[in-house]
Amino acid sequence: MSEQVLRRGNTAERSKVRTLAQTAMLGAVATVLMLLEFPIPFLAPPFYEMDFSEVPVLIGAFAMGPMAGIAIEAIKILMNFVINGTITAGVGEMANFLFGCSFLLPAAIIYRVHKTKRNAVIGMAVGTIVMTAAACVVNAFILLPAYGAAFGTPVESFVAMGTAINGAIDSLFTFALLAVAPFNLLKGIIVSVIVLLLYKRIRVILRGDI
């Protein structure tokens, strides 16, 4: 009996160490991907930049659960904060963490109920919608005013940048609806497709199944 208990304890310890190592590894990959940002000028002003850092976050959340996904997201944000610093007293970083969690949590929770490709797709679709809604609200009421205060720029200047892309943008509300929303929807869709293409190929070294 004692040998069985010992073996179980060793197995649990190895599993914990493996989870920590995988979380750190995926967090490092997410940090690198977050540094490779690029604008989508036909959708939003250039200070909105696309990156694919949510890909390793979602893969980790599917393989190891929602809490692991949150940990990977936190590592990514903290490392980016250390490397790039902040111009919004941490407000932008906290918002990015919120957006990432609003994407990964619905996806990971729905997938965890029944680990099928269908649930993964449904989860990421729901996550994309939740992330987009959160981004619209936070940008309109927190982020854009914070950026304006940090740079000494009135929010009307941001609206004008949006108007230059889409003539229907004439307020923070329409900016969020017609610039922030499409940007995040596109990001969610692209990330979801990449995750579906990659997950099966790396599930051998991680845990889980689609």
First to last CA, the chain: 36
| Assigned domain for 58 exists | yes
- CA atoms of 10 and 16, how far apart (whole Å): 10
Which CATH number do you get for residue 173? 1.10.1760.20
Please check whether residue 207 lies inside any domain of the structure.
Answer: no
Q: Is residue 65 a part of any domain in this protein?
A: yes
Position 6 pLDDT exceeds 50: no
In a domain, 151, yes or no: yes
Residue range 144-195, pLDDT digits in tens: 988 888 778 898 999 999 999 999 999 999 999 999 999 999 999 999 999 9
Residues pairing with 50 in the sheet: 38
pLDDT in tens, 15-59: 788 888 999 999 999 999 999 999 999 999 998 999 999 999 999
Binning pLDDT at 50, 70 and 90, where does residue 208 land?
Answer: very low
Instruction: Output the CA angle 186-189-190, nearest 5 degrees.
Output: 85
Domain, as residue range, for 53: 2-202
pLDDT of residue 109 exceeding 60, the answer is yes
Q: Is the pLDDT of residue 67 over 50?
A: yes
- One-letter amino acid at 76 equals K
C-alpha 56/C-alpha 52 separation (Å) is 8
Is residue 210 in a domain?
A: no
Query: Would you say residue 208 lies in a domain?
Result: no
Written as one string, the DSSP assignment of 122-135 is HHHHHHHHHHHHHH
Confidence (pLDDT) at 199: 83
| pLDDT at residue 65, rounded to an integer | 92
pLDDT of 76 higher than 50: yes
Taking alpha carbons only, the member of 124, 121, 120 closest to residue 111 is 120
| CA gap 132, 145 in Å, rounded | 19
Residue 82 lies in a domain: yes
Rounded to a whole number of angstroms, the CA Rg of the chain reads 19
- pLDDT per residue as tens digits for the range 191-204: 999 999 988 777 66
Split into its structural domains, the chain has a count of 1
Q: Do the domain assignments include residue 209?
A: no
Residues 50/16, Cβ–Cβ less than 8 Å: no
Q: Give yes or no for residue 10 having a pLDDT over 80.
A: no
Nearest to 197 by CA among 103, 59, 36, 65: 59
Q: Please state, for a pLDDT cut of 90, what percent of the chain lies above it.
A: 66
